[in-house]
């Protein structure tokens, strides 16, 4: 029997501009569903989605779970602590055993770069990358850009500045891939030690100071220091990081949209006074994340 063609979402780099637009359009439809009193459709009734999170998560895991449930699917929640990983079971054996219970799609977060690709190669059902180490986090870039699209009504021609730990952020890498496909102009800003050397060859404007990086941008996406992935402190002291790279209210002009994928370390990358910034869309990102993940699940399982 010929092998069934299988869809995965492993990274933005594998999506075409048309596929991204199709996902936004699907998200628009599911956004409407979420505004209805029942907030549910039966689009994935009978399907089962397994969430395999080997790294901490609040937003991504819960919003994938909610997205699957809002589509009528059943959800299996795997937790690495307390599992048979402690007894030496491998990632693939773990996934194959869960598959044997009758699972139609896997959502995977793992610290290993390429872990979702590895599982996708060996599993006969769709695999969605929910963050593989420092590599990609495709649904985060989709929901960030979808939030901008809903706010401005377009993406083409907008300028987005990303400030923070570019070196260790999978969110930043997914944005490098999505920006040219949706027409966003990207600016990057970080201390020199947190700018990957190869990124200077990509053609994006790179800044080591916040003021010029933010001036005139339509939106600013701030990233957390990914301390869990840093092998040495990238800056002499955290006070210095906050002094020179923290986004403060005086950096922003009315109308500039503030984004952050979360979790936020208030007082480190964002000044606490920005909690009151009128153009913040940080919680909208979380809300839109459910619609985007409904779109991704539906597209992979039924599209």
* Minimum distance of ligand NCD from residue 269's CB (angstroms): 9
Which residue is closest to ligand NCD by CB? 224
Q: What is the 3-state secondary structure (H, E, C) of the chain?
A: CCCCCCCCECCHHHCCHHHHHHHHHHHHHHHHHHHCCCCCCCCCCCCEEEEEECCCCCHHHHHHHHHHHHCCCEEEEEECCCCHHHHCCCHHHHHHHHHCCCCCEEEEEECCCCHHHHHHHHCCCCEEEEEECCCCCHHHHHHHHHHHHHHHCCCCCCEEEEECCCCCCHHHHHHHHHHHHHCCEEEEECCHHHCCHHHHHCCCCEECCHHHHHCCCCEEEECCCCHHHCCCCCCCCHHHHHHHHCECHHHCCCCCEEECCCCCCECCCECHHHHHCCCECHHHHHHHHHHHHHHHHHHHHHC
Nearer to ligand NCD, 43 or 186 (CB): 186
Residue 267 exposure: Cα atoms within 13 Å on the Cβ side: 1
Nearer to ligand NCD, 41 or 113 (CB): 113
* Minimum distance of ligand NCD from residue 260's CB (angstroms): 9
Residue selected from 47, 60, 147, 174 as contacting ligand NCD according to rule CB under 6 A: 60
- Give yes or no for residue 61 binding ligand NCD (CB under 6 A): no
Residue selected from 120, 166, 171, 300 as contacting ligand NCD according to rule CB under 6 A: 171
- Give yes or no for residue 170 binding ligand NCD (CB under 6 A): yes
Among 26, 73, 22, CA closest to 50: 73
Residue selected from 112, 114, 196, 262 as contacting ligand NCD according to rule CB under 6 A: 262
The 92-131 site mask, x for binding ligand NCD (CB under 6 A), equals ---------------------------------------x
**What residues numbered 9-28 form the site for ligand NCD, per CB under 6 A?**
none
* Minimum distance of ligand NCD from residue 135's CB (angstroms): 10
Nearer to ligand NCD, 60 or 115 (CB): 60
Sheet holding 159-163, edge to edge: 206-207, 185-189, 159-163, 219-222, 257-259
- Both structure tokens of 94: 């773990």
Residue selected from 59, 150, 151, 177 as contacting ligand NCD according to rule CB under 6 A: 59
Nearer to ligand NCD, 43 or 224 (CB): 224
* Minimum distance of ligand NCD from residue 206's CB (angstroms): 20
What letters, b where the CB count within 10 A reaches 16 and e where it falls short, cover 200-216? eeeebebbbebeebbee
**What residues numbered 179-238 form the site for ligand NCD, per CB under 6 A?**
224, 226
Residue selected from 70, 110, 137, 281 as contacting ligand NCD according to rule CB under 6 A: 137
Nearer to ligand NCD, 139 or 256 (CB): 139
Nearer to ligand NCD, 13 or 40 (CB): 13
Nearer to ligand NCD, 43 or 281 (CB): 281
Nearer to ligand NCD, 43 or 258 (CB): 258
Residues in contact with ligand NCD by the rule CB under 6 A: 59-60, 131, 137, 140, 170-171, 224, 226, 261-262
């Amino acid at each position: 029997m010929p092998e069934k063609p299988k869809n995965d979402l492993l990274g933005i780099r594998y999506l075409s501009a048309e596929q991204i637009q199709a996902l936004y359009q699907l998200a628009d439809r599911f956004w409407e569903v979420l505004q209805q009193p029942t907030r549910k459709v039966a689009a994935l009734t009978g399907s089962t989605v397994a969430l395999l999170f080997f790294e901490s998560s609040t937003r991504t895991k819960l919003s994938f779970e909610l997205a699957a449930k809002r589509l009528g699917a059943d959800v299996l929640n795997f937790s690495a602590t307390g599992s048979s990983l402690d007894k030496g079971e491998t990632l693939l054996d773990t996934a194959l055993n869960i598959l044997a219970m009758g699972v139609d799609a896997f959502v995977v977060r793992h610290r290993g770069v390429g872990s979702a690709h590895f599982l996708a190669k060996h599993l006969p059902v769709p695999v969605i990358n929910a963050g593989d180490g420092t590599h990609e986090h495709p649904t985060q870039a989709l929901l960030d850009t979808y939030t901008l699209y809903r706010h401005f009504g377009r993406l083409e021609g907008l300028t987005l500045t990303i400030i923070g730990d570019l070196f260790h952020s999978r969110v930043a890498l997914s944005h490098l891939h999505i920006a040219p496909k949706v027409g966003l102009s990207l600016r990057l800003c970080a201390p020199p030690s947190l700018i990957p050397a190869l990124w200077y060859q990509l053609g994006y404007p790179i800044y080591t100071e916040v003021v010029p990086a933010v001036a005139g941008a339509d939106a600013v996406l701030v990233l957390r220091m990914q301390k869990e992935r840093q092998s040495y402190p990238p800056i002499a002291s955290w006070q210095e990081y906050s002094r020179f790279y923290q986004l403060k209210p005086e950096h922003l002009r009315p109308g500039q949209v503030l984004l952050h994928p979360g979790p936020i370390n208030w007082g480190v990358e964002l000044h606490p006074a920005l909690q009151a910034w009128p153009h913040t869309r940080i919680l909208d990102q979380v809300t839109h994340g459910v619609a985007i993940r409904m779109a991704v699940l539906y597209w992979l399982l039924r599209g």
